[in-house]
Amino acid sequence: MLTTTKVETFRNLIGGDWSETQSGQTFLSINPANKEEIVGVFQASNEEDVRQAIDAASRAFPQWAATAPSKRATILNKAADILEQSADTLAEELTREEGKHVNDARNEVLRSAQTLRFYAVEGQSFTGETFPHDDPNMKVSTEREPLGVISVITPWNFPISIPARKIAPALITGNTVVFKPSSDTPLIAFRLVEALHNAGIPKGVINFVTGKSSDIGDLLVTHEAVKAVTFTGSTIAGEDIHSKSSFNTRTQMELGGKNPIIIMDDADLDLAATLTVNGAFSLSGQACTGTSRVIVLQNVKDAYINRLIEKTKNLKIGNGFEEGVKIGPVANHRQLKNILNYIDIGVKEGAKLVYGGNQITDGQYAKGYYVEPTIFTDVRPDMRIAQEEIFGPVVAVIEVSTYEEAMEVANGSDYGLSASIVTNSLHIASDFTKKIQAGTVKVNRTTTGNLMNAPFGGFKKSSTATFRESGRVGLEFFTQVKTVYVGY
């Protein structure tokens, strides 16, 4: 039975006005820790809503592009103030909606505010170049100009920080935005847009529509006024968006991962096990950079696995509002079933299930989408659980004999998002950073996490490998270069 008391209905933002969908339909956002609790009611938008949002963004673009960067920055900073001042309340809403621990939710809200501030500064110094030449009566330079209307489509696992790192550089460089968040986490996305709206952003500069990708996703990609699409999500969805985009529509796809951590025989095994647990099971394994493959040297395998299991046993599972909880619910019923299906596949493939593997349904867990952290050993590199993205708290341990074999296994994936190695050898560490096929490479650190001011993106099927997100280079995707020759 759904809890329906004091449930607020949230609207789209189109052309500066909060509005209901043309479809007249709504959908519910549900708490994954308690599926009987409704977090909010949201608009099930249709293509007419999207057209209106794109039209509003198109109309607003010329004036916003001509707005002084310092004024754009002022709005981003005011929105950051709003997020920071409401961080505790927003963290509670994020936890109710997505399931992560409230401390992690608060950190995500604050990081999003920092992202707005970062781009408010960096965007004001992101300029072109002047080029030397042989004509003393001519100046040759480049200018960076905004693209126009940007479609921003984001996932549920980092439902405010990922939108912030896309929307902030888009806005500071003079673009206008149509933003569609995941239908699993529309509330915290609404709060980000609300903060920008309350900070005084002009009408139509940012537009917000909620609803199913199957209903409105295509138009966000194919409309002739959309000049760029930035998307984070599954590789299948990213390939679909990329294929449907026109020749003149720029795309930025940050997609899946099957991220390895290599445990060398000279590694600190306690550190290795801790890094694996943190990388594989934090956020319930629902991070694109999460550790999903452990590649361990044969002569330390048993000692490492013992430590890994022991540390995993100590993880507290529960509601994100409970003290000490390390693993919350997974995002939704569909995600739960997908994870359980892959666990079943692993068993049928002949991998050895040494820990976890079950849905938790007792007592307080009965109302939520909970699954035990799961460890497989005796995994072959060609098994599906070693090749396909699961996006849950499941780790596959693969035994190898040499460093060279470890590298072959690590690179033997269609994905190349993040990778790590645990070793005390500077030679091995240096060789690893050169030869691993991944966009984010770490030594003696988890595969998860990236700095706000450093580039982020993947290789192979983890990215379109065009433009990186985050850091100063994150501004490049949202601008085009014009070369100017002036004779005098």
Structure tokens at 285: 């394994």
Residue 428 backbone dihedrals phi, psi, to 5 degrees: -65, -45
Beta-bridge mates of residue 27: 42
Strands 415-416 and 394-400: unpaired
**Cβ(157)–Cβ(283) below 8 Å:** yes
**Cβ(101)–Cβ(286) below 8 Å:** no
Selected catalytic residue, list 254, 399, 469, 476: 254
Strands 418-422 and 415-416: unpaired
Neighbours of 365 (CB within 10 A): 17
254 is catalytic: yes
Closest to 420 (Cα-Cα) out of 291, 302, 305: 291
Closest to 183 (Cα-Cα) out of 321, 40, 290, 371: 40
User: At a CB cut-off of 8 Å and minimum separation 6, what does 308 contact?
Assistant: 273, 276, 277, 294, 375, 397
Secondary structure element (H or E) that encloses residue 92, with its range: helix 87-98
Neighbours of 463 (CB within 10 A): 25
**Cβ(315)–Cβ(327) below 8 Å:** yes
Selected catalytic residue, list 122, 288, 399, 476: 288
Distance CA(221)–CA(73), nearest Å, equals: 28
Catalytic residue numbers read 254, 288
